[in-house]
Amino acid sequence: MTRPTLIVSVCIVVAGIATITTVVLVRRESSAAPHMSEEQRETREKFFGTSKPLPPIEKGQEMRPKW
């Protein structure tokens, strides 16, 4: 084997190991679903609001802030 062939082979092996490691780590992180406590959920709803849809706009109602 010549020196350039050996260097290319080692680079391909290292790139393959890095790719496999990345895939394994990403799958492990995505499989864990975050669980919030009830206190965290209440705080989130206070800050961001609830996930309920907004009420429909009545006819003639203006779309401007109330300040």
Phi-psi map region of 4: left, alpha, beta (phi>0 left; psi -120 to 50 alpha): alpha
Tokens of 12: 């391909």
Q: Which residue has the higher pLDDT, 50 or 27?
A: 27
| pTM above threshold 0.85 | no
**Residue 49 clears pLDDT 70, i.e. is over it:** yes
pLDDT tens for 6-40 read 999 999 999 999 999 999 988 876 665 667 788 88
Dihedral of the alpha carbons of 61, 62, 66, 67, in degrees to the nearest 10: -150
Within the chain, what is the greatest distance between any pair of CA atoms? 82
**Averaged pLDDT, 52-57:** 76
Q: Which residue has the higher pLDDT, 44 or 12?
A: 12
d(CA 23, CA 30): 11
d(CA 25, CA 17): 12
